[in-house]
Amino acid sequence: MMRREPIHAVQVFGRKKTATAVAYCKRGRGLLRVNGRPLDQIEPKVLQYKLQEPLLLLGKEKFAGVDIRVRVNGGGHIYN
């Protein structure tokens, strides 16, 4: 039998209308970046909370060892 290598990173994407988001997850220190900016620099604050919802729902401690990088294209000025 072949041995499977452990997965070190995962990339997923989603689309809605003209917007596309690609998320890349890998081992790290619990950082979340959107279009190269750390989460605390995202404006308006409502978008910060929206991005944190899944993390808070599942528990921040589960994401402490994972870095998440998200690239968003399209969808208007609020998402970029």
- Tens of pLDDT, residue by residue over 61-77, are 888 999 999 999 988 76
Q: DSSP E strands: which ranges in 1-75?
A: 9-16, 19-27, 32-34, 37-38, 66-73
Cα first-last separation, the chain: 46
CATH of domain 9-73: 3.30.230.10
Q: Which letter, b or e, does each residue of 59-76 get, where b requires 16 or more Cβ atoms within 10 Å of its Cβ? A: eeeebeebbbbbebeeee
What pTM was estimated for this model as a whole?
Answer: 0.79
Domain definitions of the chain by residue range = 9-73
- Contact between 38 and 31 (Cβ < 8 Å): yes
Q: What pLDDT was estimated at residue 62?
A: 87
